[in-house]
Amino acid sequence: MQLKTQKRGDARVNATPAPAVTRAAAVLDALAASVTGRLTLSDLARELGIPKSSTSNLLQALEDADLISRLGSDYALGVKLVELGAAYLSRRDEVREFHRFCERAPLLKGETVRIAMLDGDNVIYLARYEGHPAVTLTSNIGDKMPVSLCAVGKALVAQLHDHDLEQLFPDEAVLPVMTARSLRTGREFKAELAQIRAKGYAFEDEESTLGVVSLGVAVPTRGSHVPRLAVSVTALKATFSQEQRQAMVQELSDLTKMLGNPMG
C-alpha cells in the first residue's frame, strides 16, 4: 500500500491552535484518499507522523464519535459522516433548487445532471439528478474530479482570472489522464478554456469515460466569498446529436441563471 510521502499532519499541526482537531481531519482525509477505503493503525501513524500510541488514542475518539469505524485491523470512514454530509447538502438552497428545476425541465428531467463546486484544481460533486438510468459511469456525490477531465470543471475554471490560470496551469503542467482523449498539458487546457469563454459552455468528449460526453455551464457568481458552482449534463455519445447539444445548453443556462439569481 502506498501513501503520500508528505505527512498530512506536519505543516498544519504546527500552524494550528488545535492540533488534535487538525490530526483528526488528517485521518479522515487519509481514509478518503485511500484506494481501498481502509488503512491500518501503522498506516495512519506514518501518515500523521506521530507515535502509534497517540494515533490509537485519536482513532478511538473518532470511532466513539462514529466518524470512523474499525474493520478488523483496518479503519474506514464512519456512518456519521454520511449524516453530516446529508445535513450540509440539505441546507444548501442551490441543491434543493437544482433538484426542483431538473424534475420540471423538459429535457434535463430525462438525463443525468450534476452540480459541483470548485475546490482548487478539482471539483466536488454536491448533487446528482438521475433521470437517465443508462448513464451510470458518472461521479457520485462527494467525489472529486480534476477540473481538466470534466465539463463542469472546465466551465468553472474558465471563470477564473488569467493570472490565476497561469499559476494553476502553467504551459508545461502535466495534467491527469483517464482516456486517450484527455487533455495533457496546461497549454492545451488554457487553449480550450478560451473557446469555452467564447461559447459560454464547456464540452467534455470522452475525456474521463469512453462513450460518454458532457456539457457544463457555470453558475453566475454573486460575490467573491460565495462558492463557485457549475452544472453539467452527461449523455451517451452514440445517441448524442447537435440538436441535443443546443437544447441541453439552453436548459443548463436557464438552470444556472435560476441558481445564480433565485429571486428572479
Would you give per-residue pLDDT tens digits along the chain (264 residues)?
334 434 444 545 555 678 889 999 999 989 988 888 899 999 999 989 999 999 999 999 999 998 999 988 999 988 788 667 666 655 566 788 898 999 999 999 999 999 998 988 999 898 889 886 655 555 677 788 999 999 999 999 999 999 999 999 999 999 999 999 999 999 999 999 999 999 999 999 999 999 999 999 999 876 555 568 999 999 999 999 999 999 999 999 999 998 887 544
Q: What is the pTM assigned to this prediction?
A: 0.68
The pLDDT value given to residue 207: 96
The pLDDT value given to residue 193: 96
d(CA 96, CA 219): 15
d(CA 131, CA 14): 47
Nearest to 152 by CA among 236, 214, 244, 245: 214
The pLDDT value given to residue 96: 83
Q: Buried b vs exposed e over 163-194: b needs ≥16 C-beta within 10 Å? A: eebeebbeeebebeebeeebbebbebbbebbe
d(CA 197, CA 191): 10
The pLDDT value given to residue 95: 82
Query: What are the angstrom distances between the C-alpha of 66 and each of 70, 82, 212?
Result: 10, 10, 37
Joined together, the cell numbers standing for residue 135 give 448513464
The pLDDT value given to residue 127: 87
Q: Count CB atoms within 10 A of the CB of residue 106.
A: 8
Contact 178, 205 (CB under 8 A): no
